[in-house]
Amino acid sequence: MDAQQRAAEAARSVIARHGRRLAGLPGTHLGRIKAPSRAFSELGVWHYWWQAHYVDALVDAALREQDPDGRKAALARRVIRSIRLHNVFRYVNSYTDDMAWLALAAQRLQALDPGARHARGLDALQRTLNRRLVLASTDELGGGSFWSSARDFKNTPATAPVSLYFARSGDTARARALVDWLRGRLLDPDTGLFLDGIHLQPDGSTTVAREVYSYNQGPVLGSYLALGTPDDLRHAEELIQAVADRLTHPGGALQTHGPGDGALFTGILARYLALAARDERLSPTARDTASALVTTTADAFWAGRQDSGEGWVFPRETAGAHDPAQRDGSSPLDGISLQDRPSLLDGTVEFAAQLQAWMTLEAAATLTPARQDRS
């Protein structure tokens, strides 16, 4: 089965298992946090940013199918409407990164068919969220974007996607200021990777959160590519190599951070690595490295799948993914504890892990000769 077919199978499985109406309401569609679940069981559980990445994955599928106004795009629009309904009839959220991810997904959805009758609503959504992203990006701590309305933490999870959104919107001055702040304040010179953030304490002092997460590297890479100066492209190549050196398993697959929110992280990084792999402004070495990271990770997710009887269930971890060149019969799931494998024993499957695998498989599908598209 080729990369296109794998991505199609992942899309079919995830949508069939996790897609459902919001509280059974006609015309709505969201991803169930766990499947199966009852229609009303998740009303008090809300993962806004998971749904934003669901929109992005549906856009990926629409591009792959070369059907910009087909079923996948229609589902994506329905998810956006349902996010607003679930979020008490508004798109504004307390978390800047949530809003940035939705703004990016809506931007890509609108680009599928800019003249469609739906474009006006998507444009209004982006204007609303753009205002919030501007307000979150201040001069305190020298720049950057606040993570939440508490305004006590400026971090990469917020600043990087905000920078990318501004860059893709043509607001290059804001995008440049944010990515330069990240590079000046949160790039670890020892690893070449971006740290999590800076906490602002009540007494005015600051502490650096030194955790390194795979997804934080993704939108920074995307911002470098969107801004596109020679220095940006050089920084992009350095970041790709740092990811390859520091965030992979011995077999070459990207490290993962599951469960929960962490189960989405590596899928996000894979999206932007695939974008870099297709960018002819980068060196062949950087492009080949980015491509190998994506395809090896996609291979690990695919090889670890299980048939649930209602579609594929994918692992949330890639630990133990072996070098495809080896012929020792080892499994991509070697070294993973049973609790990290796709478990059907309790009858439920978590959405984030399945979405991550789908996103990675869609990213890999863009690297085949038949798919050399944008976004």
pLDDT digits (tens, 9 = 90+) for 180-218: 999 999 999 999 999 999 999 998 899 999 999 999 999
Task: Report residue 204 as tokens.
Answer: 């005015």
Q: Is the pLDDT of residue 329 over 50?
A: no
List CB contacts of 150: < 8 A, sequence separation 6 or more. Answer: none
Q: In this structure, how many other beta carbons lie within 10 angstroms of the beta carbon of residue 196?
A: 18
Q: Is the peptide bond before 284 cis (omega within 30 degrees of 0)?
A: no
pLDDT digits (tens, 9 = 90+) for 260-317: 899 999 999 999 999 999 999 999 999 999 999 999 999 999 999 998 877 899 998 8
The per-type count for the chain, helices as H runs and strands as E runs, is: 12, 9
pTM beyond cutoff 0.95: no
Angstrom distance (rounded) from CA 42 to CA 121: 27
Q: In the predicted model, what is the mean pLDDT of residues 107-135?
A: 91
pLDDT digits (tens, 9 = 90+) for 1-38: 899 999 999 999 999 999 999 888 999 999 999 887 76
